[in-house]
Structure 1
């Protein structure tokens, strides 16, 4: 508490989680939303009381129609947005989606219009810069079998 009796303001970030999935050629799965331009990773905002890993799994099921296991946390990114306020974003390792599971992908058609696997060197041209930084950091964390804390997509330590 400060010198006044008013409670101190605390951050109340919007929290989102997604999964990073690959094919056998080590390409990253990206989805194309119907409601805005560009590509994203599968994921979205958490529901009240939902853990980040649960939210990532729910969003993948809603968007892609499949329920692959959600693996370990790759990155946590504190990424305030100029118009949307504080955000805390989690990316989990979805691993390699086997061909049988890829064949079962059934897009929701409402939020997601298409999906494709892309090489890591295409990420910067397909994703907005803050998401591209986060995805690159997640790929690096996966390769190092590590978890990385980011601020605006940039590793802190």
Structure 2
């Protein structure tokens, strides 16, 4: 019997944030390169932490310099050969002046919107909707969640 060791998995890593307005509507973005809407965020670069990537991506996508709160959900999905890890942080409630300062990245985002949670279900892919429900539950009860699922 040989002692063959498998190479460690190298999942893609992404980070994003969930933001709300004063009416408890969730901020979603419509990326030009994806079929469905999404939470703001994107890929974690080499040598970057998930939190730093979240801040950078929100700045790039929306022109905001967010104060990112606690980690709400870590999700592993079956995307790609090694899977994908998502880190979703709490961006909190954006006051009117911060909402007015949003500038969607040209060429990257078709639009953005604060939508009631029920409407988010129609804009997100099914796996992203499941992720959002976990994010909302984690935010409500203050307990970080770990989720495994199929493709997002």
TM range (shorter): over 0.9
Asked whether the equivalents of residues 9 and 82 of structure 2 are also in contact (C-alpha less than 8 Å), the reply is no
Match of 1:34 in 2: 32
CA distance in structure 1 between the partners assigned to 2:90 and 2:81 by the alignment: 26
Aligned residues: 150
TM-score (norm 2): 0.93
What TM-score, normalized by structure 1, do the two folds share?
A: 0.90
- Tell me if the contact between 2:32 and 2:110 (Cα under 8 Å) persists in the aligned partners: yes
What are the residue-to-residue correspondences of 1:23-102 with 2, within 5 Å? 23-81=21-79, 83=80, 85-102=82-99
* Runs of 5+ consecutive residues of structure 2 not aligned to the other structure: none
Deviation at residue 101 of structure 1 after TM alignment: 0.5
Aligned to 1:15: 13
**Does residue 1:132 correspond to 2:129, yes or no?**
yes
The answer to whether structure 1 residue 148 and structure 2 residue 145 are counterparts is yes
* Matched residue SS, 1:124: helix
What 5-or-longer segments of structure 1 have no aligned partner? Answer: none
Alpha-carbon distance, 1:108 to partner: 1.1
CA-CA distance at 1:84 after TM superposition: 6.0
Give the RMSD, CA atoms, in angstroms.
Answer: 1.5
